[in-house]
Structure 1
Amino acid sequence: MPNSTSTAVDTPDGTGELTLVDADIHQRWASDEEIMQYLPERYRDDGIVAPTLLYRNPGGFFRQEEMGEDGSKPGTDLEELASSHFDENDIDYGMLTGNSWFNLAALPNRDYAVELARAYNKWLVDDCLPVDDRFLGSLYVAPKAPEQSAELIREFGDHPQVRQVMLPGGAEVPYGRPQYWPMYEAAAEMNLAIAVHPFSEGHGTSNAPTGAGHPNSYIEWHTLLGAYYMGQLASIVTEGVFVEYPDLRWAFIEGGYGWVPHFMWRLDKNWKGLRSQAPWLDQPPSQYIRENVWFASQPIEEPETAEQHNQILEMMHADEMLIFASDYPHWDGDDPTWGLPPMEDSLERAVRYENAVELWDLPADPTDL
């Protein structure tokens, strides 16, 4: 049975409210053997072979204070993750998004990419999710093999803690193309959200990470992640994904959100004059986005004044579409305690948990999963 629609009613403490849902937490395996044990025999000797990130942060990707005394990387000890991140920050739910370098969309061998995705999903449901009821899971798929990926979604998507399917930001062609739709049909069938997260941009067989080509340095690549998301979102909306799957929920994670108002305005303006190119859209593109799409807060936008940030939140309809993400334990992660700027109470509740509850169809009590 797919995940069923749930109604948040009352929390264990009787307050009727959650505290915080974190949309982006990177757990990782301590050794490749943890994933390789789930690979079929024909690939077990190959191990994990995936294109690595072309753009390196000179300071590394992890907060140094999160590194283990033995040099172990944060996120490998899941019990420690539950204690140090969930308990200390009163996190009710946290979405596990895995290793950021697992670039399955950039692999030329589709069969191998599918088996890597299956191995990851087995590790997720067998070794990660049982550690804590508050853990939510993101399934990995191989976008170059949509039919096989749809099978993976149906194979693992009925696990009660699995709430989302993860797509890498980079791909060979934009995600609105009908060739990808078998994955969306399976996600809608299993009541799972789709999420796009930075992976694969400019790696392996993926396209250049910017419209101008390959940037020179990490600062360029990291700054322009939102531009890549614009291309994917324009494709998803104008190709009619939300017309075909009106209940499909979609999230864009770790690409910022300051670009969202401009994007919606520009897309609406062009639609008014070019409706013949998307005749299946019976309402402005921004309306589909407001009804079907969410954006994660990390990295928090930092304009010159608090007033300017409040204007961004108002213009993008943050009360409907913004969800909190820490990006733990990455170097630019946002601490749940002080990461969000001051907001009105109703908006803060929406960003901290209400919007995420809607996106992932979550009950108020994790034990109800």
Structure 2
Amino acid sequence: MSPTSGPRPLPSQEITTKTHTAEILANARRDTERYGLDEIFIVDVDSHHAELNSWRDIIGYVEDPVLRDTARQMMVHRPQAGQLALSNYKAGLAFQDAGARIPHQSALAEPVPVDGNNRDIELVRRAMDVMSIDVQVVFPQPMLEIGLHPEPGIAVQLMKAYNQWFVEQILPGDPRIKTMLGLPFEDPAACVETIRAYGDHPDVIGFLVTSQRHAGVHRNEYTRIYAELEERGLPLGFHAGPSWQDSMTTTMNRFLSVHAMSFVTCNMTHLTNWIVNGLPERFPGLRTIWIESGLAWIPFMMQRLDHEYLMRQSEAPLLRKLPSDYMRDMYFTSQPMEITDLKLLEATFHAMDARNTLLYSSDWPHWDFDVPGRVMSIPFLDDTAKRNILGGNARTVFGL
């Protein structure tokens, strides 16, 4: 069945910050009926919630009493910064809303009944129910740029506070909600402490490096982190994000350009350092996941790194096979799936062995989200490959 056949989409409507999730995702429900998604195990490996809406509560978990009080004073005396205290979120550059045409992700202000649960839990449930998702991995939004914070000590405190808040306030709300907790990567000892504190939690199914940061992930001080994860059998994710501050993105005059490039180049950099410095050989049991960078870059990196390696093997003495072979041992999330050219997409799927390495992700509620029907509509995939991508591969990598 072609992607354009079948029931017609619902007529367009105005979407505001108060529009109900079920209305925004009405066409996703149409896909559920069309493809029988209720009968398929679906894991959404990348979705988000609006943690700044709960920022006052999160600040209450900051360990350092002076820093915690400083943040609270900011909230009292600088009310315009009440939901931003201590963070490095740049509210003045909220271009993800596409000129206010796609505003739902900026506030998620739809009415939620007061029933004792955190409102984030109800909003996550609504998205899962409409998209027929069985397990949803939930990440923060602005916190994904914490690696660019000008004060590393504050970044560590904020990440630790957020993790404790999320584990205590969000995860108990629904057994379908899972997460990969962000590591306070500025402090390797704090990373190991975080893994030991939460690594046995049944709903913490891995840990995360926020990829927008200027740190060489291959450096020796981080190896104890990777050893701890490998020993526990927990995967490590690298979640991309935007930056308009790197030496190259500062030349760009449109957010379109920044979004197209910065979400990809940060993970390209970390993946290159990871492979060339032999981390897959040093930690062969550590599963790695590259999140929210799309797919089009993968065959490019395979060919580029293979080409360079074959001419300069002495600079990567730990490698025992081609860089592209190590990449096929990794996992990649699907969003945003560049689907403008099906022949190129099919070649990409072939190069990366997508039927065994690709993990479905929605990136909900961001403006460029992909519903599960996106995978089901790909004409060159057989039923087994679709089921693998939608949930089977995630079952394997996370041990669900």
Write the deviation string for residues 110-157 of structure 1: whole angstroms up to 9, x where unpaired. Answer: 332222111111111111111111111121222221222221121122
Superposed CA deviations along residues 79-127 of structure 1, whole A, max 9, x for unmatched, are: 4234311122221211111123453212233332222111111111111
Post-superposition, which runs of at least 4 consecutive aligned residues in structure 1 deviate over 6 A? none
Does the alignment pair 1:23 with 2:23?
A: no
Change beyond 3 A, Cα 1:245–1:117: same
Query: Measured at CA, do residues 360 and 69 of structure 1 come closer, stay the same or move farther in structure 2, by a change above 3 Å?
Result: closer
Q: Say which structure is richer in helix.
A: 2
Distance 2:146 2:162 in 1: 11
Number of the residue aligned with 2:190? 148
Question: Aligned to 1:319, which of 320, 344, 355?
Answer: 355
Unaligned 5+ runs, structure 1: 1-16, 363-369
1:14 maps to none
Larger C-alpha radius of gyration, 1 or 2?
Answer: 2
For 1:346 and 1:114, locate their aligned partners in 2 and report how far apart those are by CA, in whole Å: 42
1:328 alignment partner in structure 2? 364
Which residue does 2:60 correspond to in 1? 37
Q: Judging changes above 3 Å, is the alpha-carbon distance between structure 1 residues 64 and 133 closer, same or farther for their aligned structure 2 residues?
A: closer
Structure 1 residue aligned with 2:6: none
Q: Residue 93 and residue 64 in structure 1: after superposition, are their counterparts in 2 closer, same or farther (change >3 A)?
A: closer
1:344-363, aligned counterparts within 5 Å? 344-362=382-400
Question: Please, what TM-score do these two structures have when normalized by structure 1?
Answer: 0.83
Matching residue's letter, 2:299:
P
Query: 1:124 touches 1:137 (CA, 8 Å); kept in 2?
Result: no
Q: Which amino acid aligns with 2:56?
A: E
How many residue pairs get aligned? The number is 337
Deviations 1:30-82 (A, max 9, x none): 2312201111222212334122245723335754799434699xxx7234234
Amino acid at match of 2:336: P
Q: Which residue of 2 aligns with 1:89?
A: 131
1:223 is aligned to 260
- What are the Cα deviations for residues 306-356 of structure 1, in whole angstroms up to 9, with x where unaligned? 333222211221112211110010111112234653221121011111111
Structure 1 residues 169 and 202, CA gap change in structure 2 (3 angstroms): farther
Measured in 1, the distance between the counterparts of 2:68 and 2:387 equals: 46
1:200–1:307: structure 2 CA closer, same or farther, 3 Å change rule?
closer
- Whether the 8 Å contact between 1:150 and 1:182 is mirrored in structure 2 is yes
Could you tell me which residue of structure 2 aligns to residue 56 of structure 1? 95
Corresponding residue for residue 337 of structure 2: 300
**Aligned twin of 1:276:** 314
The 2-side partners of 1:209 and 1:351 are apart by 36
Cα distance in 2 for residues equivalent to 1:102 and 1:316: 26
| Cα distance change, pair 154–266 in 1 and its aligned pair in 2 (3 A) | same
What is the rounded CA distance, in whole Å, between the counterparts of 1:164 and 1:80 in structure 2? 23
Q: Does residue 198 of the first structure (1) align with residue 240 of the second (2)?
A: yes
Computed over aligned residues only, the root mean square deviation of the Cα atoms, in angstroms, reads 2.6
Q: 1:68 maps to which residue?
A: 109
> Shift in Å at residue 263 of structure 1?
0.8
Cα displacement (A) at 1:209: 6.6
| Distance across 2 between alignment mates of 1:79 and 1:51 | 25
Paired residues of 2:112 and 2:122 also in contact (CA < 8 A): no
Aligned match of 1:248 in 286, 308, 326? 286
Match of 2:346 among 310, 313, 318: 310
Asked if structure 2 preserves the Cα contact closer than 8 Å seen for 1:95 and 1:138, the reply is yes
Letter in structure 2 aligned against 1:59? G
| Contact in 2 for aligned 1:39/1:116 (Cα 8 Å) | yes
Instruction: Work out whether residues 137 and 180 of structure 2, in 8 Å CA contact, stay in contact via their aligned partners in 1.
Output: yes
Distance 1:69 1:276, change over 3 A: closer
Tell me what 1:138 maps to. Answer: 180
> Does the residue aligned with 1:112 lie in a helix, a strand or coil?
helix
Q: Which runs of 5+ in 2 are unaligned?
A: 1-38, 72-84
Residue-by-residue CA offset, 1:266-306 (whole Å, 9 max, x unaligned): 21122122111011111111222212x211111111233x3
Counterpart AA for 1:135: I
Cα distance in 2 for partners of 1:150, 1:214 equals 38
Matched residues in 1 for 2:212 and 2:240: separation? 7
The residue aligned with 2:147 is 105
Shifted more, 108-117 versus 242-251: the winner is: 108-117
Contact 1:56/1:217, CA 8 A, preserved across alignment? no
For 2:218 and 2:259, how far apart are their aligned partners in 1?
24
Q: Which residue, out of 112, 121, 124, partners 2:163?
A: 121
Tell me the TM-score normalised to structure 2 length: 0.77
Does the 8 A contact of 1:176 with 1:238 survive in 2? no
> C-alpha distance in 1, partners of 2:143/2:260?
18
Which residue is 1:78 aligned to? 120
Is 1:46 equivalent to 2:70 in the alignment?
yes
Q: Per the alignment, in what secondary structure is the counterpart of residue 172 of structure 2?
A: helix
